[in-house]
Amino acid sequence: MLSHANLIDFLDWTDWTIFALVLGATLASVLYGQSLATRKSEDGKETVVELLLMGRKLTLPVFVATLVATWYGGIFGVTALTFEKGIYNLLTQGIFWYGTYLIFAFFLVDKIRSRNIMTIPDLAGQVFGPRAQRITAGLNFLNLLPIAYTISLGIFLQSLIGGSLFLNTVVGVVLVTAWSIWGGFRAVVFSDVVQFFFMILSVLLIVIFAWAEFGSPMHLIEKLPATHFDWTGGESYANLFIWGFIALSTLVDPNFYQRALAAESNKVAKKGIIISTVIWFFFDCCTTIGALYARAYLPDANPQDAYLQFSIQLVPHGVRGLIIAGILAIILSTLDAYLFNAATCISYDFFRLKEKFKVIHHHLALIFVAVVSIFLGLHFDGNVVEVWKTLGSFSAACLLFPLLVGQWFPGRISDKNFSFSVLLGCVGIVLWRVLNKKYSFSTLDEFYIGLLLTTIPLLPAILLRKRSA
């Protein structure tokens, strides 16, 4: 019978050896990335393009590896959602997103790569003006704060060795921050390549061993509540479609933009996103099936770490070390990317407005982001899904419509109109959330309030500009 315990009790020397070898391979990739960055820079100093975009030289295999690895760090969030609500997770965290990835590939890649930009605030500055650039940088920063992934890392370490969530989070984030400072975007990419292999292998092995031990996933239909196979998960359609809109935030996501801009050609970026989407579908199927097995055979576990608890007790020694290394790779590959890009938002998008960009600013900003993420993680009390829903609402509701209109129909929205509408949407989200929490006067999510307040003020400007064109 499976039970809930500190995972360290289930590991032996073979597991620790394999775990150490995987971490060693990751560290070696960081060192290799740093050595290449130094070799390719001028006079031993990294250029801005080299530091932030790896010199725009991402090849197709590397592009796919870094994009796939970066996008799936919240494994404890998606598996907890499956544990509690079943295949609702596959719809809200999978299917909604696949369509958005393809929209990005076919309708945005050419547009963003045709501009001389390195970040989304760069884009807003070109399309609208300096105020839009600053506001976009602020919302980008909220979107990039890696709170969900610092929580995930803390949960992982706490499940492994015990102790407080806060202390485990601090230890883990300090180590990730160190290597993110060390090698720039190139080091992040090279570590992603190693982590990509182990994250895919680990989720596949969990499904294979669960199938061998407990039988086909089809029999889970008999062992689990019927609601676990309801696509709505018992939620209202209004709440369901919020995830559809949040998925659209991919169209204004800094990590997607960074990798598309770092690709060596438009073709590499488009083809890479399509291949990545296929891999994400496979990955989502594996994590969903694994979490359903966990719900069936470890029903009393904490949803936040049930998948990890089930996985480690399921497989034999040796494979256990590989599984925990793979799950850790899933978290680290996203955490380091978000730390890096949130620091870029501060050092490049904010400070460069006043003085020339310097690498040391990026390093200091990265440390600041790590500290802020750790302490804000305490506010969400380990709830990864709540972090996604809260912070994702700002960029999806307030940036999506104006930025897309600005790219597809340039000149329709002024800097002033953009700034007013986006700020109005942000204020609306905050006020609705605070007042509704206090007085409980509506079931309407604050996301829809932000979307309406951002969109409606822009409509007259768009229509008038169209008639005068």
- The CATH superfamily assigned to 7-383 is Sodium/glucose cotransporter (1.20.1730.10)
Name the nearest CA neighbour of 363 among 382, 376, 344: 344
Q: What are the angstrom distances between the C-alpha of 287 and each of 136, 313, 335?
A: 33, 16, 19
Q: DSSP secondary structure string, 400-448?
A: HHHHHHHHHSTTSS-HHHHHHHHHHHHHHHHHHHHHHHHH----S-HHH
Residue type, 205: L
**Domain boundaries along the sequence of the chain:** 7-383
| Residues recorded for the chain | 469
Which pLDDT does position 43 carry in this prediction? 46
The structure tokens 């725009």 sit at 56
Per-residue pLDDT of the chain (469 residues; tens, 9 = 90+): 455 556 777 888 898 898 888 888 887 887 776 666 655 555 445 577 877 888 888 999 999 999 998 887 677 778 888 999 989 888 888 888 999 999 999 999 999 999 888 899 999 999 999 999 999 998 888 888 888 888 888 888 887 777 788 888 888 888 888 777 766 788 888 888 888 998 899 999 999 999 999 999 898 988 898 889 988 877 777 778 888 887 888 888 888 999 999 999 999 999 999 999 999 999 999 999 999 999 999 988 888 888 988 988 899 998 988 888 888 888 888 888 888 889 888 888 887 655 566 777 888 888 999 998 888 877 776 666 666 667 767 877 888 889 988 888 888 888 999 999 999 999 998 898 888 877 777 777 788 888 899 999 888 877 776 544 4
Which pLDDT does position 115 carry in this prediction? 87
Which pLDDT does position 1 carry in this prediction? 43
